[in-house]
Every structure is written in C-alpha cells, then in structure tokens.
Amino acid sequence: MYSKKLMSYTLLLLMMFTFFLPAAVTQAASIDSVLGAMTSPTAASGDGGGGLLNSLFSLLFDKILGPIFNIFSGGGSSGGSSPVKITPQPGGSGTITDNGVLRGKVIVVDPGHGGNNPGATGNGSIEAANNLAVGLKLRDKLQQAGAKVYMTRETDRNVAPVGSTLGEELQARVDLAESKGADLFVSVHSNDNPDPKIAGAMTFYSSGKSSKLASEVQSALVQATGAANKGTSSATFYVLRNTTMPSILVEMGFVSNPQEAAKLNDNSYRNKVAQGVFNGLVQYFQKS
C-alpha cells in the first residue's frame, strides 16, 4: 500500500507541475502541505486557489488514482510495515448483554469486494467470500437484537451496475448507507501483507468521527477471537471518509498468513468474528 501511495504522490506532483508552473502561480504550496492535503479526509469546498487545489485533489484521488490503485477501498491495505499510526487497544472482559440498545438502530453492513473483485487472496482463502460470510452472520445477530440491517450485498456480486468503475462501486456502498439514514456503517474486510508471518485483527475509522466506535469493536473482536491485537487507526479509505455517519472498516485477519487464512475459512471462527463485532457495537451504544 505504501508503494502505491508513493506512486500516486509522485503522479500528483507531476500533474501539479504541469498545470501550475506555466501559470506562474505566485504562492507555491510546500511539499508538506501538499502531502497533508492529499492524505486528509474529503476536502471541503473553498474559495479561490484553495478551492481549485481541493477540487484537483478530490478528482485525482476519488475518481482516478484511488480506484486505479485501490488505495481507499480497504482490502489488503495494511500490515506490519504500514505507515499508518496504530493505536493498541486493551482486551475487553465480561459477558455482553444487549439490553435492547440495538433495537431500532439502522446499521449498514458492507462485505467488502465481491463480483469481479475478489479482493485479497492467499492460502486458499478469498477475501470476498470471507467478508460475505462474516457479514451475513453479523446481520443475523443484529437483526435478532432488533436492529434494522441493510446489506450492501448478500451474494457474490458487485454493488454498482455492471461496467461501473471501482470509484462508482465504492460510491454505491456509500449511497446505500446515506439513503437509509444509517446510524452506523460497518465495512468487513480481510487483510494481506507480503510478510506471511504478519497476523492479527485491526479496525480503521475516519479521523474525527468514529474512534470510539473503532475502539469498542476492536477490543470486543480481539476478546471474541483471540486474534493478535493490531489496534485501531484513522484512515482515508473511500467508504469511511465519504459517509456522514460513524463508520468503521474491520480487517478480520490476514489471508497471507497460513494459520489465519485457515481460520478465516472456518465457519466457527467466522461466527466468533461476527460475535466480536456485534459485541463491540453493543458496547458502543451502551456507552453513547
């Protein structure tokens, strides 16, 4: 993922030089400010030159580089060498009781990838299949607790119409959550890393709006599964930064790790993952 981001940064800088140097712009942004703008959440519209830059960044990342390199889709995105800052989470304790806190809540469950995009694959484990299996189990648990659940997909398919770009596919998932007025958005993924020894679960959130949700889910997930705790981190994944409700992206484990890939293929372990995420959601609403 880091190499892809570096490539995208290089392309963006070349693009900026091509567009802006001939125009003799009087104030050039520093490299730090450019990189900061590129990695920030969805840019707010502004006036003057800042608005133009924001529009350029949004166009390049949301419509061109993001979909091409799958930078913001979440699949196979992070691991031991990831540049993102990971916050370790303490393990939870005790039995989780719903107490009716989920009754009436609108929750969108998003099994990542699917259709012509299988996501990360390795050791006989396919991300799209793992994500869907756990997503369906999570749906069932949430519905039994009285929540109103919408799935972005319930079969191995794309969410957007056939022939859509990856950017349109990701936007279709966001649009569903927005149209249903969701209280929460939970995207389920499997991870990948060049180092097969890397293993563990981690949870991403959009900076400034979902850190508490991520913390509760990560703690409960680790407790339920016994997975290595790789903590939480803010991230600019497309489905996180473009949804308005609290949103998280759960990386259940690494298909690149043989032992963890076997677990992700196992029905009983998938149920533990779904139970862990469910427990975390209950804890989040109990403390809200």
pLDDT digit string, tens, across residues 73-123 = 444 444 333 434 555 555 444 456 667 999 999 999 999 999 999 999 999
Residue 27 DSSP SS3: coil
Predicted pLDDT of residue 288: 87
> Over the chain, what is the mean pLDDT?
78
Residue 15 DSSP SS3: helix
Q: Whole-model pTM? A: 0.72
Reported as a pLDDT band with limits 50, 70 and 90, residue 12 is low
Predicted pLDDT of residue 256: 98
In sequence order, the β-bridge partners of residue 248 are 186, 205
Query: What are the domain boundaries of the chain?
Result: 2-69, 106-287
Q: Where are the alpha helices (DSSP H) in 145-266?
A: 166-179, 211-225, 238-241, 258-264
d(CA 10, CA 92): 42
Which residue, among 260, 270, 205, has the nearest Cα to 231 in the 3D structure?
205
- What mean pLDDT do residues 67-76 have? 40
d(CA 39, CA 237): 10
Percentage of the chain exceeding pLDDT 90:
64
**Residue 67, pLDDT above cutoff 60:** no
CATH number of 106-287: 3.40.630.40
- What mean pLDDT do residues 234-257 have? 97
For residue 141, how far is the Cα from the chain centroid? 21
Query: 6-15, 106-115, 182-191, 208-217: which has the minimum mean pLDDT?
Result: 6-15
The answer to whether residues 159 and 228 touch, using CB atoms and an 8 Å cutoff, is no
